[in-house]
Amino acid sequence: MADASLQSQGYPGTATAPAHYWRSLLLFNLYRTATAVLLLAAARVWGDTLQFGSRDMRLFLGAASAYLVFALAMFAWMRLRERFNWQLAAQVGGDIGFTTVMMYASGGLASGLGLLLLTSLAAAGLVSRGRLTLFFAAIATIAVLLEHSYEVLRFSESGGQYVQAGLLSIAYFTTAWLAHTLAKRTVASEQLAAQREIDLANMAQVNQLVIQDMEQGVIVVDGDGVVRQSNSAATRMVGGLSGSGVIRLKDHLPALQDLFERWLRDPALVDGPNLFEIDASLRARFVPVAKRRGAGAVIFLEDLARIRSEARQMKLAALGRLTANIAHEIRNPLGAISHAAELLQEDPAAVAGSARLTMIIRDNVRRLDRMINDVQMLNRGERAERERFRLAPYLQAFVAQFSETERLEGNEIELELVADPHIMFDRDHLNQVLWNLCRNALRHSTRRPGCIRLQVMRASRSNAVRLDVVDDGAGVPAESRVKLFEPFFTTDPGGTGLGLHLAREICEANGAMLEYVEGPGGARFAVTCAAG
């Protein structure tokens, strides 16, 4: 019941008090031990000249010695780390009891020993952090009044000293109340600090998650260019920013370090899209972490390739909507033209020259119709239904079908199977991609045996397969390679300019990649897809 009462008044649990409570109690007992030693020493050295022990030196020395033994015993009890509340109450009670006895042995209030209890009450209030310190002040007041009353009754002391005893009691309560108030404020400050620490930790965790999920690269550096923090996007762009030890910008991206030093030297330097370009694919923006630039900066890295890709996708999306509308509007009059050409060709009264003109109309109508089909396929965005199958048998069947359709002799296409893997791809989509690439290769080849080669090999990255379509033609001119996969770009007067663009879109829908590989000889297109 006593422990529960103490806890309700602000004490910690009796069994599991925090470590700093025990540390405070230890310092309190060190003060008690030092006080007992000083009182004994003073009585031994200056006993005849001091007030200490003036009434009964033997009793004073006995009480001071017992006080020292009591303090040492408290050290042994504290090592058990149990019943904190009872230990504190016992120590303060011992202070009151032994101090009162030494006061009596030294002549009462005139000895001044009652002032020692002020320190004990203040320490008790700070250690206990509860209202029980007022109880200790009341016990000390009662002890002082009883001691003085005993002196008045036995030694006929003057009753006027009750005023001094009352003032000392007021001092006890004042000290206890101030200590209690300061302790409550300390507890409130500790709780607020703990809550702020939790809030700061949560905020730091949220900021870390936000930074890690940003598409922009983020690097925090100090004034010396030492990396303090970075996200995964920055590591992907720059590389080498993760790991233990000191990481410096100049070791991984000297160009960025030079730009950072320039930014530090010139306070008037303003941010601009071209001013902070590191290279053709990376751009940096600096934000100071403090008013003084020398403290460091937060560096935001932007992947220009991604920005250009997003701009290209937006442009293609707008272009796709426009072309879809145009294709829809063209199809109806185109059908009418085709039908009129057929009627004109069937007319018996048509002259011989009209047949040639009609054939030209029909060929161009078919070309326009094929272009409209490609445009509609471009905007349809069909979902890929990938499946796992072996590549070698599929390619053998494709070569046979392609040779028969294009009326080849059968030896124009060669298969070079370095491996025979399984792949994950939509069969119809892969068939469409290969038809486009092989028709382009056939158109630009010499049409001799082995003019087209299909090479299957393991890709450089793990769990991937690479399929190359190579011809023996002149290759793609250097000035045309940049625009090779752009829509409506073609070097063939009869082409639509959508074949390679559609092939790349189909590959991306299947988680694959289509690219042009530069090299000696003819053109080489590589399809890199996931292995099954």
Angstrom distances, CA of residue 233 to CA of 73, 253, 257, 342? 63, 15, 18, 61
Per-residue pLDDT, averaged over 518-526, amounts to: 84
Q: Does 305 or 260 have the greater pLDDT score? A: 260
| Bridge partner list, 452 | 413, 471
d(C-alpha 455, C-alpha 158), whole Å: 120
Q: What is the tens place of the pLDDT at every residue in 99-152?
A: 888 888 887 777 778 788 888 888 887 777 655 777 888 888 888 888 878 877
Tokens of 90: 């016992």
Give the Cβ contact number of residue 118 at 10 Å.
Answer: 18
Query: Could you give the strand order of the β-sheet that contains 217-221, starting from the edge strand earlier in sequence?
Result: 227-230, 217-221, 297-303, 282-288, 277-279
Tens of pLDDT, residue by residue over 384-399, are 788 999 988 999 989 8
Q: pLDDT averaged over the chain?
A: 78
Encoded tokens for 159: 């009753």
Q: How far apart are CA 172 and CA 95, in angstroms?
A: 13
* Residue 226, φ and ψ in degrees, nearest 5: -85, 130
Secondary structure in 3-state letters for 138-201: HHHHHHHHHHHHHHHHHHCCCHHHHHHHHHHHHHHHHHHHHHHHHHHHHHHHHHHHHHHHHHHH
- Asked if residue 403 lies in contact with residue 410, where contact means CB atoms within 8 angstroms, the answer is yes
CA distances, 223 to each of 275, 276, 285, 298, 471 (Å): 20, 18, 16, 11, 56
SS3 336: helix
* CA 159 – CA 143 distance, rounded (Å): 17
pTM (two decimals): 0.41
Range of 91-95, 239-243, 493-497 with top mean pLDDT: 91-95
**Three-state secondary-structure class, residue 287:** strand
Q: Which positions ≥6 away from 456 have C-beta within 8 Å?
A: 391, 392, 395, 415, 416, 417, 418, 419, 420, 421, 465, 466, 467
Which residues, including other chains, have CB under 8 Å from residue 514's CB and lie 6 or more apart? 433, 485, 500, 503, 504, 507, 525, 526, 527
Compute the distance between CA of residue 433 and CA of residue 441 in angstroms, rounded to an integer. Answer: 12
